[in-house]
Structure 1
């Protein structure tokens, strides 16, 4: 199915958020996720089902000084 990830279209075969993150290379647990503008906690990702056209934002922490 086609979803939008960080404003870019992607094709994924996964049906849930956790699997999609692995498929897209975001397996690191330290990322924050929002699906269609709603924050999704790490523990809920396996339960959240994706649909065609969903918009996913994945944010990784930045280090600096």
Structure 2
């Protein structure tokens, strides 16, 4: 893959390269996470599961993936 086809994002605070045009949904899938089992945010803004496919990552985006905490 050439540099022109990739962009740099921060994934959980670490540098990560993705293909230009990658959506948040695709990234979650590529990383092997079950969509229902992970919560996502881009640049500090929560992204709902049903919005991930429309969220195209841009160079420099800060992406956070985390497991929701459930307890009682």
TM-score by length of 2: 0.75
Say which of 27, 33, 36 aligns to 1:20. Answer: 27
Q: Which runs of 5+ in 1 are unaligned?
A: none
Q: Which has the larger radius of gyration?
A: 2
Larger helix proportion of the pair? 2
- Computed over aligned residues only, the root mean square deviation of the Cα atoms, in angstroms, reads 1.9
User: Which of residues 20, 36, 42 is equivalent to 2:49?
Assistant: 42
* Structure 1 length-normalised TM: 0.82
Q: What is the aligned length?
A: 65
Gaps of 5+ in 2: 1-6
